Structure 1
Amino acid sequence: MRGAVLLLLLLFCVSAEGGGLDRGSQNSVLAESEIWSELRAIQDRVGEQEVELQTHRDSVASLEIENRALVSRVSASEEQLAALRAELEVSKNELQLDETAMRSSDTKVAFSAALSSGKFGPYNTETALVYRRSITNLGGAYSTNTGVFTAPVEGAYYFRFTAMNNKHGENMAVNLYRNSQRIIHNSKQNDGNTFLSNAAVLHLNQGDEVYMRLHVNCGLFENDDTYNTFSGFMLYSM
């Protein structure tokens, strides 16, 4: 548009100079030649600028295409990265499950313990029995300080206990607990050197506790013959 305006101005100037030629001016002929030369030079510059402008436009369009392609590649890469992260998380969880299963399969648990020598009870409240004489404690799941067995892994466990009292006429009763739930209650009227025993298979979750308690107003007797025992072992993990 700007080139067309310049061209009209130059033509107007040429026309004006042409009027001078009709009056026989030699200088106007020279001026007209210079004007035409400048006009051609302007046209050439305008053409070059149009070529440069088109080249610039082509470059901008090419950059826009490359930018869209780059954005698409970045989006695809982000999606691939998210998918890889999800796969990594799944693999991590599977690995943790495998490690837990391996630890469970390698776990070996078995214990047997007895009361210390002496007389226990009767007490006016139910009292924990702490079997302090450890006979076997594979896996260390039983505590001789508290009398509590703590399941190291989920599984099926077998427990057995024995009890004895030698005081005639004194009741004898013991209770087996899983956490706060009483599982077994066994009792006998003592006629002198009376014994009892029982057993149970329990499904335990990791961290569950199993222990024995002496029933209220009941007594036990123990000496080196090991009458009162608490034992257990894991049948299999789950």
Structure 2
Amino acid sequence: MIRVFNSPAITWALTAVLLLGGSHYVLQAAKSRHLTNRVNNSLHALMMVLMAAMLWNLAPSTVLAQIAILAGAALWFVIQAVARPEFKLLCAGSQGRLKCVYHSFTMGAAALMIAMMGHAATAGHDIAPATAMPASNAHHGTASAVHSTAAPGLDHSADLAIPLTVFFAAAAVVFIVLLLRYRATIPAHHSAYIPKPSRRAEHGLEALGAAVMALMFATMSA
């Protein structure tokens, strides 16, 4: 588990948010008629599941596979962002291309986070024997082991985590503003201008996802 998420309530709350978002993308993938939409939604769902698993340090033996999948997903969104218009991919127009660039960055950041947490878990693997100490010394022995083994490996991680925290916090604010702007621009007397629920849900989930990413990177920059 991420080292400062010792509170089960925080971990469960983040897990619930990630799994809720993943479930939404699974439903969107199932409803999508176009192959590109199904692939994109499936990749978003997979990313959220992998991040939820990372909170609990599940399947640590598959870290390299997880990183490879997310890196491939990042490349896939880059390809969409730079594709020619005649290919009719999801990223059409400047807004769509910008969205694909952001999604590519998100996938890459998730891969980086898994790599950073995998390194931290490996560095802290040797603290397990501290549990065999007497109860009065176990806490101090564990704390000293963490500082002596994990801290050196996290120096560069903290340097990377700080700008990523700022970026995703700013992204969360942007998506919240977009969500509020859609609601504010709806004429009360004209229901035809009400945006589709999927668009509102998309902005809401993007805001939640960015906020979770910012929080998780913030824990690694402390």
Larger relative contact order (CA 8 Å, sep ≥ 6) = 1
TM-score normalized by the length of structure 2: 0.21
Largest Rg, 1 or 2: 1
More strand as a share of residues: 1
Counting helix residues as a fraction of each chain, which structure ranks higher? 2
Could you state the TM-score of these two structures normalised by the residue count of structure 1? 0.20
